[in-house]
Structure formats: C-alpha cells, structure tokens
Amino acid sequence: MSESVKGIGATAEAIAAAVRSGNASAEEITRAFLAHADKTAGMLGTYLHRMSEEALRAARAVDAKRASGAPLGALAGVPVAIKDNICIRGVPTTCGSTILEGYRPPYDAHVIERLRAADAVLVGKTNCDEFAMGSSTENSAYHPTKNPWDLARVPGGSSGGSAAAVAAREAPIAYGSDTGGSVRQPAAFCGVYGLKPTYGAVSRYGLVAFASSLDQIGPFARTARDTALAYNAVAGPDARDMTSRAEARPIDLAALEGGMKGLTIGIPRDLLEGEGLAPEIRACFDSAAAAFASHGARLIDVSLPSAKHAIATYYLIAPAEASSNLARYDGVRYGLRAGDGDLRAMYERTRGQGFGREVRRRILLGTYALSAGYYDAYYLRAQKVRTLVRGDFLKALSGADALLLPVTPTTAFGLGEKVEDPLAMYLNDIYSIPASLAGVPALSFPAGFGAAGLPIGLQLVGHPFAEETLLRIARAYETWCDAATKAPPIATEVSA
Amino acid sequence: MPIDAGTVEKIAALARLELQPAEEERMVRELQAILAYVEQLQAVDVGGIEPTSQVTEGKPPALRPDEERPCDVRDEALAQAPDRDGDYFRVPQVV
C-alpha cells in the first residue's frame, strides 16, 4: 500500500480508488484521520460533535461490503465532515445554537442519505456561526473555530469548522451551506476549494433553513477533482425539495482536464474598483487573470452595475426569510424551553435566551422589514433590486463562460476584530453575495498567498448548472499554481 | 426611516423575542446603522422591475403520488420534547 493513500494528505479520489481496489481498508484510513484530528481538532475547535465510533463502524461496514463482492460507491471509505446545520439521524444537531441544545434529528438529510449510499464515512459535525449567520464562526454559542494557518485569526464563516477541517487535513471533504458566501468565504480564508452550487442543484431536505431563497449546500475539498466528486455525490433532484432540479447533472471528471483553450473569462471591472480591496488580493487577481490569458483563455471586460447594492439587498431579504424560518423555535417540541409563565411568556423567554445576539438582531431586522408599513419600502424593493443583480449576471455571462471575482476584500482577519461591529462584518461579503442573489454557481479556489502567509482565494462564477466549467478552469489553474497543495503547519507538524 | 426603542420593543413583541433592558439600547444603535446602510436601495430605479422571490430554472421534480407512507418516528420525535405527556407535547396553560 502506498504511503500517500494511507496518509492524511491523500485525496478523496485516491482513497476511494484504493478502497475500491482493496489496496487500503476504509478502517485504517479512517483511523489515520481520526488519530490526526484527535490532536488538531481541540486546538482548532473544528467540531461541535465528533462521530469517531460511528465512523469506525461505517468504515468496517464499507470493508465488509467490499469483502462481500458488492460494488462500492464513489466516496468509498472517504472521511467526510458535516456542518452542524445538516441533520444526521440520532446525532446532535445544534446549528451552533443554544436553542437546539440536545436536539437529535429523527431523520437523515438528503445529502446524508446520498453520502451513505456513496460509502462515505461521516466523522463529525462541524462548528458554525449560529444558524449560519456570520462570517467568522465566532457567533457559535459553543466556541469559536480558529484558522489552521494562524490560530489568532478566524477561519471565516459561517461554515468555518468545515473549511478548517479540510485545511487541517482532518478530512479530505467536508460540506457546508452557503446563503451569502458561507462556503466560499471560509474556503478562501483557509486555502481550500469551496463550491456554492447553482440554486436548485442540491436538495436542502434536512438542512436547517436560514434564508430559503438563497440557502444551498456545497462541498469543501483540496483539489478541483475532489470538489467535483463531492458535488456529484450530493447533486440532483429530490422530491422533498421542490426547488431541486434534474438539470443538476454529474460533472464529468475527464472534462476537467480540458484546459483553458476556447474559454472566455469575464472581468467585472466596476466591482474591482470599489473601496477596500486589499492590494495583495488585487495583485493575485491580476496575476491569475494574466495566467488564464497566457494559457489560452480570452478575457473580456464585463459590468455588474447593480452588484454594489447586493449587500443592502441581501441584508433585507435574508433576515426577512430568517425571521420567518426561525419562528419554529418555540420551546414546544425540542431543544431549550425557558420560562414558566403563560404560553406567550414561555415563547419569548425561550427565544430570548436560546438565540444569540446576531440571530436576535437578524430576527428583529427581518421582522421590521416585513412589518406593516415597511414591507414595500424594504422587502419588496430589495426583491426588485435582486432582479437587477441577477440580470447583470445573466448579461455578463451571455458573452463569457465564467466571471472572475475576488472572494473577500482581505485575507483572514483576527479573532475578535469585527465581532463588535455587525455592519463592518457584513461589508466583507461584497464579492460573495451577488452570485447568491443571482442563484448562479460560484467556486472559491486557492489562488495564492498574501504577505502574512495567509491564503488568498479567488472566485469563478458561472452559468446555471455549469459547475463543470468552473472546476475545469480551477483544475487548469491548479496545474500551474501550487497554492492548493500547500498545507498549514498544524496539518503536518502536529502529526509528524 | 428612523427606528427607536419603542419600535424595537414593538417588533420584539411581534417576533416573540424577550430582550434584556440592557441590550435594547445597543440593539437600537446597531439596527439604526444597518437601516441607514440599506437606505441606499431607495435611490435605485426599480420602476417596471418585477420582484424576484426565488431563482429557479428548469423543471421542478415530479410530484410524488399522494399515498400514505409509514413514518415511524413518533417516539423519537416525542423523546425530544422539553415537556411531554404521553403522546402529547405539553405547554403552559393557554386558557
């Protein structure tokens, strides 16, 4: 057996091939990842709940399945971490919130059913901002997660635990959810791939709802090909989510090797000229664009004139939907109950104590935006601006295969740096939110490193259901830039 | 559109959310800052523009047949209840 397959640096693709062919057992691979995470997870605060016993049982079942001669799935024996807002039957699911403390869902999410069918090994529930509301994972009611590249910095959010788990080699694949950037931004901060699929590509059955017109489940991985495997494992229609679509077809991994020739990349000049884009990220962007051109792509300038209003639009639409979705947490059927007065006092106290400050703020903002007298001025107007933002993207994409954007204005910021200023935190989402409003697929890929040795991610935005094109471009980039292959010290030193 | 302590109390009541008196002032300040920022949308020309409530392309999945199917999670679901009375969720007295 080759060391590269046994080690924690192995790709999901290599692990699955080795397990399928019998060159490695799922159990020994799982043990290696669990032993590594035993050392790193506590330092990083990656998980809210580890599933080590279940993982070993699942791995042994995969090995037994192979021994029986049955064919194995695409993620055979691959350790996978799951954001804590995705339901796994019988396993604590808190969404990083006190209000769901102790909750164990009586069912699996659609993506969990699909991962089990693919013979993946689930290793734990990752930390996140409460109900996926945040950009730093500091809004978790339990503990923050730290950036594997610098433990004094945030991993991004809201899916910070999943991004940190993949970057620190605790699992080759993890899943998160992306409502306004919650997969792409932590992927950029942690130096891994993060894909927000097209709205409708992945069923949200069993994903705890935040803003239903925006929520989408997406994978983290360390290679473009692993990202495609992880996408294929969960994409496609499901009768339990009426927004899911059969148009979400599996990515052909061979097509990812197609290179840049014949592709046109749109550069949204107006969005780049905005304030706040760090020079080192701009330099990385320019050098990536030049590299695409030198490898055969055609670059064109495009315009996204309404994108500058995307944050304002998002922070009306998302809280409005959240205020409605989070009405279900009332202390009656599961989780926390507080107060012993009448029913109304019980609701108010349970929700006041169970929700953290960011969630309370967004519920209030959303309730306000939907309330009588303000609905037309706020919510309805935001939905109209959303139409303009989407129109911008479809127009820009009419002459391009993909658009190249930054993911974040800066590299990872410090723990505690923005947590006291919610608006400053929101303004970081300027490059990720527009594609969410437009419903189009967007990929954050590792593109380089900044002066402090922190990862820089860039973003490719594509046509609806054209995830394959985005990963083809990222795969090409991977062949001439080694940004994706570098490991943070914690991944190599701790288990050396 | 200004938001003050009275408005925050009103929307907190609508949202069934108890706020501590100590945090109310801060919440007012933070909501004011956010609402001042989103005010920019008032200047966008949205004349004749249809609202987008959801972005979906392609065909929705076929409706499943409307048939009874087993759903044996009653005990698992009830076991989560903060206060259970047999096969019921118990709540504080309503009337």
Phi, psi of A241 (to 5 degrees): -130, 105
Task: Give the position of tokens 């995470």.
Answer: A37
Quote the minimal CA–CA distance from A348 to chain B in Å. Answer: 5
Rounded to 5 degrees, what angle do the CA atoms B7, A371, B9 make?
25
The model's pTM: 0.97
A362 touches chain B (CB under 8 A): no
Give the separation between CA A206 and CA A204, rounded to whole angstroms: 6
Q: Which of A302, A322, A320, A324 is nearest to A312 (CA)?
A: A320
Give residue-wise pLDDT tens across range B45-57.
999 999 999 888 7
Mean pLDDT on A117-140: 98
Residue with tokens 């938001």: B3
Q: What is the residue type of B16?
A: R
* B67 Cα to chain A: minimum distance (Å): 14
* Neighboring chain A residues of B34 at a CB cutoff of 8 Å: 315, 365, 422-423, 426
Structure tokens given for B80: 């989560």
Q: In angstroms, rounded to a whole number, what is the distance separating the alpha carbons of residues A382 and A227?
A: 33
ipTM of the complex: 0.95
By CB neighbour count within 10 A (0-12 exposed, 13-18 middle, 19+ buried), where does A269 fall?
exposed
Q: Shortest CB distance from B61 goes to which of A239, A309, A377?
A: A239
Summarised one tens digit per residue, pLDDT across range A360-406 is: 999 999 999 999 888 999 999 999 999 999 999 999 999 999 999 99
pLDDT number for residue A371: 92
Widest Cα–Cα separation across chain B: 58
CB spacing of B17 vs A243 below 8 angstroms: no
Which among A406, A437, A490 has a CA at the least distance from the CA of A189? A406
Residue A275: exposure state from Cβ atoms within 10 A (0-12, 13-18, ≥19): exposed
Please give the Cα distance from A309 to A317 (Å, whole number): 12
Partners of B35 on chain A (C-beta within 8 Å) are 365, 368
Locate A262 and state its tokens.
């014949």
One DSSP character per residue, A270-294 reads HHHTSTT--HHHHHHHHHHHHHHHH
One DSSP character per residue, A88-124 reads: -TTS---TT-GGGTT---SS--HHHHHHHHTT-EEEE
pLDDT at A2 (0 to 100): 43
Continuous H helices in A22-167: 26-44, 52-67, 110-117, 160-167
A166 touches A190 (CB < 8 A): yes
Nearest CA in chain A to B30: A422
Q: Residues with Cβ < 8 Å from A151, sequence gap 6 or more? A: A43, A44, A490
HSE-up of residue A139 (Cα within 13 Å, Cβ side): 30
CA distance A216 to chain B (A): 12
A4 pLDDT band, cuts 50/70/90, is low
Q: Is the pLDDT of residue A1 over 60?
A: no
Is a pLDDT exceeding 70 seen at residue A496?
no
Instruction: Provide the CA A300 distance to its chain's centre, in angstroms.
Output: 29
